[in-house]
């Protein structure tokens, strides 16, 4: 049978013609303009008063490397504490028990309502309020010995993070269809088991992108712990430039490491998303 070349009587025959590629002049022009601007900025920095030799020398200095390790250790530990507190607070917030609900709401209100740097300073200076802390009759210690920069930073960052994470987790749990909870009840599950086995695994799929966001925020928020002498990368960079006055060079060094860490975290998040997309028709892309 002959494939009809004529689409309709009276119209030109367009079968067999190829569609021409469109040239996006505007895009080429914009890209060229951006390259020129970036080159100009780059040139300005190269010719500016920056001693690049200092940047390369301190980029892998022992103190800086220790600093970025401390940054990562603190970010991970504080995030783990934050997620643990956030999950518990979110479950309490959605509980039928009004006491638990109020406690969780109060926690979120208090720690979201005050600046993080203020909370860090409060934890670090706890000794001013309570010279000795402990459990009466069991254990006690001087607060200045207990509230090291490490512990103060961990408590300050983790507890603050928990207040934010609780809202992320709550949103995730609310995103799971009520029918899932009813189906879990119908096979005899109690509230906590239903949450653990059925609701939270499904909520994870929704909360990983915002939690990834929160973790990236946490990596950078650890820099605030420099004010309470925690030796993270910015604190160590500051200590060096107090000595050699190479302020911008060392800030560039610290900035490089933050960027590198955050760049590595993004693909890790995608892997995690794929893991929790199990059974979902809308696979993580």
Site of interaction with another protein (CB under 8 A): 177, 179-180, 182-191, 193, 197-198, 201-202, 278-281
3-class DSSP assignment, residue 176: coil
Q: Which is nearer to another protein, 208 or 254 (CB)?
A: 208
Beta carbon of residue 200, minimum distance to another protein (angstroms, whole number): 10
Conformation bin of residue 178: beta by default, left when phi > 0, alpha when psi is -120 to 50: alpha
Q: Which is nearer to another protein, 57 or 197 (CB)?
A: 197
> Are the beta carbons of 225 and 70 closer than 8 angstroms?
no
Beta carbon of residue 182, minimum distance to another protein (angstroms, whole number): 6
Q: Which is nearer to another protein, 7 or 183 (CB)?
A: 183
As a whole number of Å, the end-to-end CA separation of the chain is 44
> Are the beta carbons of 52 and 252 closer than 8 angstroms?
no
Q: Which is nearer to another protein, 80 or 192 (CB)?
A: 192
| Sign of the CA dihedral running 238, 240, 244, 249 | negative
Q: Which is nearer to another protein, 199 or 254 (CB)?
A: 199
Q: Which is nearer to another protein, 266 or 280 (CB)?
A: 280
> Are the beta carbons of 219 and 75 closer than 8 angstroms?
yes
Beta carbon of residue 103, minimum distance to another protein (angstroms, whole number): 20
Beta carbon of residue 277, minimum distance to another protein (angstroms, whole number): 9
Name, in order, each residue with C-beta under 8 angstroms of 125's C-beta and a sequence gap of 6 or more: none
**What is each CA distance from 279 to 205, 241, 268, 272, 274, in whole angstroms?**
11, 53, 20, 14, 10
Beta carbon of residue 88, minimum distance to another protein (angstroms, whole number): 19
Name, in order, each residue with C-beta under 8 angstroms of 120's C-beta and a sequence gap of 6 or more: 152, 153, 156, 157, 224, 225, 227, 228
Beta carbon of residue 283, minimum distance to another protein (angstroms, whole number): 10
From CA 133, how far away is CA 143, in angstroms rounded?
6
Q: Which is nearer to another protein, 51 or 182 (CB)?
A: 182
Beta carbon of residue 284, minimum distance to another protein (angstroms, whole number): 13
């Amino acid at each position: 049978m002959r494939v009809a070349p004529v689409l309709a009587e009276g119209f030109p025959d367009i079968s067999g013609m190829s569609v021409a590629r469109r040239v996006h002049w505007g895009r080429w022009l914009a890209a060229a303009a951006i390259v020129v601007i970036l080159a100009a900025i780059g040139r300005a920095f190269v010719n500016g008063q920056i001693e690049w030799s200092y940047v390369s020398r301190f980029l892998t200095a022992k103190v800086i490397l220790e600093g970025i390790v401390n940054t990562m250790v603190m970010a991970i530990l504080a995030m783990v504490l934050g997620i643990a507190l956030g999950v518990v607070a979110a479950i309490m917030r959605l509980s039928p028990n009004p006491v638990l609900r109020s406690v969780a709401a109060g926690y979120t209100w208090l720690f979201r309502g005050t600046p993080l740097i203020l909370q860090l300073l409060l934890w670090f200076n706890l000794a001013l309020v309570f010279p000795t802390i402990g459990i009466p009759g069991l254990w006690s210690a001087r607060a200045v010995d207990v509230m090291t920069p490490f512990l103060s930073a961990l408590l300050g960052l983790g507890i603050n993070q928990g207040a934010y994470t609780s809202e992320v987790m709550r949103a995730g749990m609310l995103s799971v269809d009520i029918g899932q909870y009813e189906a879990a009840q119908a096979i005899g599950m109690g509230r906590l088991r239903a949450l653990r086995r059925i609701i939270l695994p499904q909520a994870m799929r929704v909360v990983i992108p915002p939690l990834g966001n929160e973790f990236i925020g946490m990596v950078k928020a650890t820099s605030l712990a420099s004010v309470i002498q925690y030796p993270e990368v910015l604190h160590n960079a500051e200590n060096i430039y107090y000595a050699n006055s190479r302020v911008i060079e060392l800030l560039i060094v610290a900035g490089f490491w933050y960027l590198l860490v955050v760049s590595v975290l993004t693909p890790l998040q995608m892997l995690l998303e794929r893991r929790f997309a199990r059974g979902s028709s809308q696979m993580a892309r």
